[in-house]
Amino acid sequence: MALINIPEREITCKIVYYGTGLGGKTANLRYIYRQLSPSARTEMVSLATETERTLFFDYLGLDLGQVKGFTTRFSLYTVPGQVEYNASRKLLLNGADGIVFVADSDSLKRRDNVLALQNMIENMRTYNMTLDSVPWILQYNKRDLSGAMNIDCLESDLNFKQVPSFEAIASEGIGVFATLKCMSKQILNRLQ
């Protein structure tokens, strides 16, 4: 749920990047961080393991400037992809205004993508959230892999709600801002 501070004329919205382990959630935030000027973003906070895998979450704050007279900010979070950190994944969904599900295009990750989406849906139920009550979109990452699944396969497996979907190579920035822009628009449209 967006935090709206009327006296200060500020709105803060939360976007959660959810998906499989090593699917590209952190790569999205890192690319956004590198591309934006320090005046438009906070420092990126990453709580990672020794092998650079997200342990609890990654965080990046964005300042969008004025929207209808309100200073508007987005707080971007990634969840850990590893199954053993499900409590963290569940906790980070609390209060989400929008969710970007990052699917790994590697054909060896097909089952993992489906299980991660099912896990997300189960964790959303904890907070009385559903795929119909919260804006969400799909990002098909790692499109440059030689063993990448075709889009029809990914759509069939994951996009049963016909939400917007984007092809991406997050490590190179391809599709990263298109995904973020679509998610931001959906959230801001809901606020109006």
Domain 3-191: which CATH class? alpha beta
Percent over 70 (pLDDT), the chain: 92
Q: 62 or 74: which carries more pLDDT confidence?
A: 74
Give the integer Cα–Cα distance in Å for 166 and 175.
Answer: 6
Give the integer Cα–Cα distance in Å for 78 and 72.
Answer: 20
pLDDT at position 54: 47
Q: Look up the pTM and report it.
A: 0.91
Burial 28-53 (b: 16+ CB within 10 A, else e): bbbbbbeeeeeeebbebebeeeeeee
Element (H, E) at 188: helix 176-191
Residue 1 is encoded by which pair of tokens? 């749920």
pLDDT at position 191: 82
